[in-house]
Structure 1
Amino acid sequence: ATAIAPGRGSAVTEAPRGLLYHSYNLNMEGKGASADIVTPTANNSYRLEEDVAELAPSVAHLSDQELVKLFGMLVRAYDPCISCSVHELHVRVKRDRQKE
């Protein structure tokens, strides 16, 4: 029989959508005590949100239909699986009427 001691193991692997981080802790009995997984989607979300905010002012003049297409393309550039994983991608256009 193999003895399993308490400890921690971590790894980073490259997945098709980006880096996948995972870490596991074993308790005194060698059983899983905790796990931490950071998916590529979670890892990329901050920069995606920043890019959406940065792009929005320069394309605000476009039609709602054009904005939906453009921002859908931006989201899929970061993670092509987002729209397929839920089988759709909802983009809501919210305009600030005071600036028009």
Structure 2
Amino acid sequence: MPDRTSQIEALLRGWALGDEDRTALQGYDESDNEQSERLSRLRTIMGGLYLLFPENPGLRRDWVQRENGALGWRSPLQVILADKNGLQTVAKLIRAQLQE
């Protein structure tokens, strides 16, 4: 099984991110527990996007960079990068959208 860093990298390839954003989302300097949480939240987000947009790979790819009213018109990427709890916030948003 690939290590957590490799798994995170694989998930992030699904989004059209620049090198700086991709590096910031990696969480290289995190503890094992933090890396596990990061991986879990990224899986929630990516899995949710597949369920929300099963036939629209472009929207799944671009969703993270689009402004979102539920996030105060910030993009999910902006929320994730601006706040330590950003991944949790975006994962909660995905779960809420799946329940609608």
Q: TM-score, normalised by structure 2?
A: 0.26
Higher relative contact order (CA 8 A, sep 6+): 2
Q: TM-score, normalised by structure 1?
A: 0.26
* Structure whose residues are more often strand by fraction: 1
